[in-house]
Amino acid sequence: MQIQLNGQPHQLENPLNLSELLDSLGFAGKPVVAEINCEAVLPRNFPTTEIKADDSVEIITLAAGG
C-alpha cells in the first residue's frame, strides 16, 4: 500500500493505524504532531486512526531548545 509521508512516497506492507506507523518509524513515545490529509489528529486518536492507501501523512517532531 502506497502513502505519502512528509511529501515523499512511502510503501507500507500492511495496513496500520497511526500509532503503529509512528512505532515503525521510531517515533514511539516521542512528542509529535500528525496530520492525515491536512487534518490534525489528536494523540489520543492515534491508535484508532487507520492509514489508508494514498493518504497523505505529515509527521512533525517537537523539540525544546533555547
Domain CATH for 9? 3.10.20.30
Residue 66 located in a structural domain: no
The three-state DSSP-derived secondary structure of the chain is: CEEEECCEEEECCCCCEHHHHHHHCCCCCCCEEEEECCEEECHHHHHHCECCCCCEEEEEECCCCC
Longest dimension (CA), the chain: 40
Residue 12 located in a structural domain: yes
pLDDT at 64: 75
The parent domain of residue 28 ranges over 2-61
Residue 8 located in a structural domain: yes
Residue 39 located in a structural domain: yes
Tally of structural domains, the chain: 1
In angstroms, what CA-CA distances link 31 with 2, 26, 28, 54, 61? 25, 12, 9, 25, 6
The pTM of this model reads 0.90
From first to last of the 66 residues of the chain, give the pLDDT tens digit.
Answer: 999 999 999 999 999 999 999 999 999 889 999 999 999 999 999 999 999 999 999 999 988 776
pLDDT at 63: 80
